[in-house]
Structure 1
């Protein structure tokens, strides 16, 4: 049964990591028009337990995208400098939507894996009861 629980923990870690990724993507989309906002990114890393690789993943540290902020010309804005420009955000909605879709599909794939393992475990228990 340990193989089943290992597979379930790998699928669960994948769902948690993708949910965390989707949270950051949502924050980026919500702050698209916030002046000076820098896009947040996260990376995944494999979990190591007792010195061995487990196959499970976790999110690493959140990082700020170092892409240059867009310069917006609006002399009426209170944030504008003497040239009439201010710093916008570096969020690209197209990239964020693509990231959200990828995170959603990865989450669904992990959920299907979890469900398959659960069904296999249930079928094995039924066989053992006979």
Structure 2
């Protein structure tokens, strides 16, 4: 049964990591028009459990993208300087949507792996009962 537990552990760590990634991506998309907002990224890290044979992943600290903020010309904006320019965000919605689709697909793959391991475990228990 240890192999079933290991597979459930691996897929659940993937589910947690992709869930956190989707949360960060949704924050980025929600703040696309927020002046001065910097895009957030979250790295995945290898997390060795007590069993060295099983490698799960976890999320690291949230990082801010240090690329330049876009300059927007709007003299009527309250944050505009004397030249009528203010700093927007560095979020590119197309990149965020593409990343969110990738994270969603990865989440679904981990969910299917979790479900398959659970079904195999249930089938094994039914066979052992006979």
Moved over 4 A (4+): none
1:50-109 CA-to-partner distances (Å, cap 9, x unmatched) read 483632110011000011000000011111111110000000000000011011100000
Q: With structure 1 as the length reference, what TM-score do the two structures score?
A: 0.96
Aligned to 1:2: 2
Structure 1: distance between partners of 2:82 and 2:51: 57
Aligned residue pair count: 130
Structure 2: distance between partners of 1:51 and 1:86: 52
Q: Mind listing any 5+ residue stretches in structure 1 that lack a counterpart? A: none
Q: With structure 2 as the length reference, what TM-score do the two structures score?
A: 0.96
- Within 5 Å, which residues of 2 pair with 1:1-130? 1-50=1-50, 52=52, 54-130=54-130
RMSD: 1.2
Structure 1: distance between partners of 2:9 and 2:55: 9
Q: Mind listing any 5+ residue stretches in structure 2 that lack a counterpart? A: none
